[in-house]
Chain A
Amino acid sequence: MTKKNAAMEIENLRKVYSTKNEDTVAIKDVSLTIPEGKFVSIVGPSGCGKSTFLHIVGGFIEKSSGKVKVRGKEVEKPGPDRGMMFQESALFPWLNVFDNVAWGLDIQGMPKKEKNEIVERYLKLVRLWEFRNQLPSQLSGGMRQRISLARILAFDPEVLLMDEPFGALDAQTREEMQVELLRIWSESKKSVLFVTHDIEEAVFLSDTVVVFSGRPAVISEVIDIKFPRPRDLNLYKSPEFRDYRNQIWDLLHQEHHKPVQIVSEVVNG
């Protein structure tokens, strides 16, 4: 059954929120395969269920039906085989940078020497080794997310899940972080499932962009981004980049035309 080169397989995933009076379908039978070593982004309007989708893959939210497999193994609950990066900083405010990154290794009971080597390697990879004795609260939002990334890479998950990790950053920091992420990713080559509402971010980072439509979430399009790697920020200026961006923009805004027309009818009538 399992495809040999699939990092993540999602089959007919459905999420229904039930209240006393009604059932709301948030995700409607979505199937998606993320090949090994690929960077796949999900874009969609806010509230479309893309973040819920990612949390289900992470095991943080229960699915209603369907299957989620990571390297052939079915997902039931959160686990260190999937490294999840959240939009808000999940760094522990009572621990310094070093101990934050070491936390997952401490939990495993890793010997101190080995642990220290790993923490040093990843803090150097994200270029924040000098800040190891600082508290997260003393660092900027961008630095905090780089440390979050180091913390996740340190416990060596099989795949990375990222939920709008740069969503809370300003535009310029966000671009710097995108370049950083690609640099770091190119060294680990782990499969990534990345959720964002930022079309350009998705195009810049990804091998494949999956476009979700609004509630309930269904896949409206899967677009392969055929830019060579390594990529740099100049890519933003290329006409091909614009084409991808416009294509996805159109897909997302088909959804929005309907309510706009209704509003204008009301105004005219």
Chain B
Amino acid sequence: MDNKLLRMIAVIELLAIFLIWELLAVFQWFPTYLSSPLAIFKSMGELWLDGDLLNHIGSSLFRSLMGFLLVVIVGVTLGILAGYYRRVGTFFDPIVNTLNPIPKIALLPILMVWFGISDTTRILIIFLTAFFPCFVATRDGVKSIKQVYLWSGQNMGASTFQLLRKIVFPVTLPKIFDGLRVSLGLTFVMMFSSEIIGAANGFGLGFLILNADLGGRTDYMFAGVAFIGLLGFIFDKLLLTIRGKVLWWDVNKA
């Protein structure tokens, strides 16, 4: 009941914004480079029919999701080790504390020197940005595990590997998902940033937006932005759905 109401308010809010925007555009109170919702919607349709859109989306998703996959594997593993072993944590602390505040996009020129204008460079920059929230959340989650869980495991004769895999990992999963959700959002932010290099040829929503800019098609630019937003939304919901399935036992508490 409450959820339904909130969802209705959200829809009405969005519709109201679009309506006002549309009216401002129709009465030409807005400069034309701000386009209008209907024009953008129409452009989205044109892009869809054009055929290249799926290639753009496919390329962008490949980069984002490869970066995200690396975050899941490397971020969670290192986070667990850094949280569980004090020495590993101490080793990573200065590295993380120095690198975390750097805008990772500043590393893009360096990566370009190393790996050229390539998907390797793009995936790495996405990974470097999205790694930190996942790593930090996992590490802190492991650090806050109740001691009795670990003691119980040891009491039943579990090896360290069994403790990590069968106690530390599942207990920390809610925190890991929290971190991954922030990371996932960042992969979509960085996906666009990484695609501003080598935009002249190739596929990707970032390319699409930049090329539309060069062609003076404001509506296409907005359409590209809308597609990124849509993808981000869909994958966020997907992550939440997986979270709900995996953490079914946590639902009662929430």
Contact = CB atoms under 8 A, between A and B. Distances in A.
Interface of A: 58-60, 77-80, 82-84, 86, 88-90, 92-95, 103-104, 107-108, 135, 137-138, 151-152, 155
B151 to A, nearest CB: 5
Interface stretch (B83-91, B152-160, B198-206): B152-160
B14 interface: no
Query: Which of A79, A89, A103, A138 has its CB near the most chain B CB atoms (within 10 A)?
Result: A103
Given A88-B148, A93-B249, A137-B252, A83 B155 contact: yes
Given A78-B154, A107-B158, A90 B171 contact: no
Given A79-B157, A92-B170, 13 more contacts: A58-B151, A58-B155, A78-B151, A79-B154, A84-B152, A88-B148, A90-B148, A92-B167, A93-B249, A94-B247, A107-B158, A107-B166, A137-B252
Nearest to A161: B155
A82 B157 CA distance: 10
B151 A135 contact: no
Interface of B: 146, 148-149, 151-158, 162, 166-167, 170-171, 173, 247, 249-250, 252-253
Contact of B156 (A80, A88, A94): A80
A155 B196 CA distance: 60
Contact of B252 (A79, A88, A92, A135): A135
Contacts of A90: 148-149, 151-152
A93 B172 CA distance: 12
Contacts of A138: 252
Contacts of A80: 155-157
B154 A107 contact: no
A79 B152 CA distance: 10
**In the A-B complex, the 6 residue pairs with the closest CB atoms:** A104-B156, A78-B154, A90-B152, A90-B148, A80-B157, A94-B249
A60 B252 contact: no
Given A93-B249, A107-B162, A135-B249, A82 B170 contact: no
Contacts of B247: 94
Contact of B155 (A84, A88, A95, A135): A84
A49 B116 CA distance: 64
A86 B156 CA distance: 13
Given A90-B148, A135-B252, A138-B252, A82 B167 contact: no
Contacts of A79: 154-155, 157
Contacts of A137: 249, 252-253
A119 to B, nearest CB: 13
A165 B166 CA distance: 24
A80 B247 CA distance: 29
A107 B252 contact: no
A77 B156 CA distance: 12
Contacts of A92: 149, 152, 167, 170-171
Nearest to A93: B249
A86 B148 contact: yes
A161 B13 CA distance: 60
A82 B155 CA distance: 7
B152 A86 contact: yes
A188 to B, nearest CB: 17
A181 to B, nearest CB: 18
A108 B247 CA distance: 26
A80 B151 CA distance: 11
13 contacts: A79-B154, A80-B157, A84-B151, A84-B152, A84-B155, A92-B167, A93-B253, A94-B171, A95-B249, A107-B156, A135-B249, A137-B249, A155-B157
Query: Which of A60, A78, A79, A83 has its CB near the most chain B CB atoms (within 10 A)?
Result: A78
A84 B155 CA distance: 7
Contact of A107 (B146, B149, B157): B157
Contacts of A78: 151, 154-155
A79 to B, nearest CB: 6
A135 B250 CA distance: 10
B42 to A, nearest CB: 49
A79 B158 CA distance: 9
Nearest to B247: A94
Given A93-B249, A94-B170, A135-B252, A86 B151 contact: yes
Nearest to A87: B148
Contacts of B156: 80, 103-104, 107, 151, 155
Nearest to A137: B252
A222 to B, nearest CB: 27
B248 to A, nearest CB: 9
A30 to B, nearest CB: 22
B151 A77 contact: no
